[in-house]
A and B are shown apart, each in its own frame.
Chain A
Amino acid sequence: MNIWLVMLLGGLITFGMRFSLIYLLAEGRFQVPDTLRKALHYVPPAVLSAIIFPELFLREEALYLSFENTRLLAGLTAIVVAWFSKNTLVTILAGMVALFLLQFFLFPR
């Protein structure tokens, strides 16, 4: 699928969700089920972790647990910084700086 089609479908779906209940509730036809309401709380931790874990732990689809896995170490640094700072920019910066330091000083290629 090409990127323009992906974007168009993604945009239509996003709009569809925003419009869905504004459209349906006006006719008094639909209520959001409680289970869905609960489940939605867990979408961000689940989806984001499903993206983060492979980025940190895998290399070429194999588990890469090593002190030379600079992305894992930098990622763990970012997690600690995020925990204490609760600040997006500070977290990104800390992770990038950690990656630089690890790549250029500890494990130069």
Chain B
Amino acid sequence: MNEQIKNFWAGVQAEIPLLIGVFPFGMIYGALALNAGLSTAASQLMSSVVFAGSAQFITAQLVHEATPGFVIVLTIAVVNLRHMLYSASLAPYIASLPARWKVLLSYLLTDEAYAPTILHYEKEGATPYAHWFWLGAGFALWFNWQIATALGIFLGASIPDSWSLDFALPLTFIAMVVPVLKNRAAIAAALSAGLVALIASSLPYKLGLILAALVGILIGTILEDRKSSRGIS
């Protein structure tokens, strides 16, 4: 077995435990996107065009609420800002690769591909074929995500409206947000964003959402700064 394939498979194997967690999530996305009013084709294609779990769930919810397109795009941008951190963190390891590799690996740079890849680089360093590990982890996730979405769409199509499946979307967000409320700054960010969203709900174009998110982010950041400047972080 040559070095490329060996590294690729090592990446796939490192990704497998993550796939088990991601698969049901992809199915839920497929079922809910369809239920939120996206067409079968749009629900499926979003999984390869956007290829970012939380942004896809949020897009489905916002489409369901008839949010204007530019607000949805803006929200996707805010939600996916964290990918710049992954990009920064992995950049030095692939600085010398040709541009086509950088483009391909960037496309595959999700939360779940980042985790095993950075661990691999930190342990092994930038070995000559380490980018094949990234490719393996990223591709395994990509493939898994497409299948899960398709299966979810298939099952979602047979769920009757009377089940109020649209409510599963906010429930998914609750399941995502509660575990990150680990300190006062995060709780304050969540509460302030929520309250502003209520107060500003009548703003045109659903801009209240963006305003609320920005206020929450600002308050969380300020509180963290205060805490660390008092030296008790």
Contacts and interface: CB of A to CB of B under 8 A. Distances in A.
Main DSSP-derived SS at the B contact region: helix
B193 A45 contact: yes
Given A7-B50, A11-B49, A47-B58, A26 B173 contact: no
Given A8-B49, A26-B95, A42-B216, A18 B69 contact: no
B177 A96 contact: no
Contact of B172 (A32, A63, A92): A92
Interface in A54-109: 54-58, 61, 63, 71, 74-75, 78-79, 82-83, 86-89, 91-92, 95-96, 99, 103
Contacts of B179: 82, 86
Nearest to B48: A11
Contacts of A103: 164
Given A10-B50, A13-B80, A79-B174, A54 B201 contact: yes
A48 B176 contact: yes
Main DSSP-derived SS at the A contact region: helix
A51 to B, nearest CB: 6
Contacts of B212: 46, 49-50
B84 interface: yes
Given A47-B75, A92-B171, A39 B69 contact: no
B71 to A, nearest CB: 9
B52 A14 contact: yes
A36 B82 CA distance: 9
B107 interface: yes
A63 B81 CA distance: 32
A86 B79 CA distance: 21
B159 to A, nearest CB: 11
Interface string A15-42: 1011111111110000110011111111
B18 interface: no
Contacts of A13: 73, 76-77, 80
B221 to A, nearest CB: 5
A42 B70 CA distance: 22
B167 A96 contact: yes
Contact of A23 (B102, B167, B172, B221): B102
Q: Which of B83, B174, B175, B198 has the most CB of A within 10 A?
A: B174
Contacts of A38: 221, 224-225
Interface of B: 24-25, 28, 38-39, 42, 45-46, 49-52, 54-55, 58-59, 61, 63, 68-70, 72-73, 75-88, 90-92, 94-95, 102-103, 105-107, 109, 163-164, 167-168, 170-181, 185-187, 189-198, 201-202, 208-209, 212-221, 224-225
